[in-house]
Amino acid sequence: MEEQESGDNQMSKTNISLDELIGSGAHFGHQTKRWNPKMGEYLYGQEDGVHIFDLIKTKPLIEEALDFLAKSTKEGKKVLILGTKKQIKDKVAEVAQKAGVSYVNERWLGGTISNFDQIKRSISKMEEMKENMSTGFYNKYTKKEKLLIDREIVRLEKFFGGVKTLTGIPDILFVIDTKRESAAVREANGKKIPVIGIVDSNADPDMIDYPIPMNDDASKALEYILDLVAKVVTENKNG
């Protein structure tokens, strides 16, 4: 048992920098009046009406989440990264594409996990329309009709482009701002899919299998975590 645990711990050799977390503002929570009491164990105190995270507690939780991600990736599990905030959506796409995993960075569409067959049909429709456009199938249509078709392709790509390689529901959901993305978290919980999540002081950690308690608004802090995720997935993907 000790040998197995040792092996798992060695999978993620990523060093977590407390200086980086502090410098990026990861320690700031929400206003104290907006907190969820369940987050109390992860908080150090408050300053000027804002809760402060105890990053000494956050650091090992990041390591635990990355270890799980490393082990799962090595086993060939499918990861989906979800982050739709304006300040981080481009980084989500960049990191997911770099790591070769699926992502949602526009809006979570209800049923992405709970009704994946419908999502798959929409993806198939998008791919068929793109194929028809590239082969000239739509050349017989009017200019206006082709413009409308092109707009529909762009719309579908916007919402489904990040999940078009999924052949089934993901095995792991990585969520930025678990309160904002509560619908996705519920879908994952319903399908027993493990959730790794950035959990701010106003969220419910009980719904998250691997909570990372920290600021979910600070761009630099979120970029730091996403870069760690990309590193771990990339290093372990081919086992």
**Mean pLDDT, range 210-233, rounded to an integer:** 96
CA distance 143 to 28: 53
Query: Does one domain contain both 143 and 52?
Result: no
Give the per-residue pLDDT at 239.
Answer: 57
Pair 125, 182 in one domain: no
| Domain final residue pick, 145, 162, 179 | 162
Same domain (yes/no): 47, 132: no
Could you tell me the CA-to-CA distances from 206 to 57, 79, 150, 157 in Å, in that order?
17, 21, 43, 34
Pick from 176, 173, 162, 158: nearest CA to 219: 176
Pair (134, 77) in one structural domain: no
Q: How confident is the model over 122-140, as a mean pLDDT?
A: 92
CATH for 189: 3.40.50.10490
Mean pLDDT of the 107-121 span: 92
Q: How would you classify the pairing of strands 172-176 and 102-104?
A: unpaired
One domain for residues 26 and 141: no
What number is the average pLDDT over the span 213-223?
Answer: 97
Report the pLDDT averaged over residues 143-159: 93
Phi, psi for residue 168 in degrees, rounded to 5: -165, 180
Task: Quote the domain boundaries for residue 189.
Answer: 2-113+169-236
pTM of the prediction? 0.90
With CA atoms as reference, report the closest residue to 212 among 199, 203, 221.
Answer: 199
Q: CB-hemisphere CA count at 13 Å for 143?
A: 0
How many domains does one find in the chain? Answer: 2
Give the residue from 162, 195, 220 where a domain finishes.
162
Asked whether residue 177 falls in the same domain as residue 90, the answer is yes
Regarding whether 177 and 107 lie in a shared domain, the answer is yes
Average pLDDT over residues 144-172: 93
The better pLDDT of the pair 139, 9 is held by 139
User: What average pLDDT does range 152-177 have in this prediction?
Assistant: 94
Do residues 64 and 181 both lie within one domain? Answer: yes
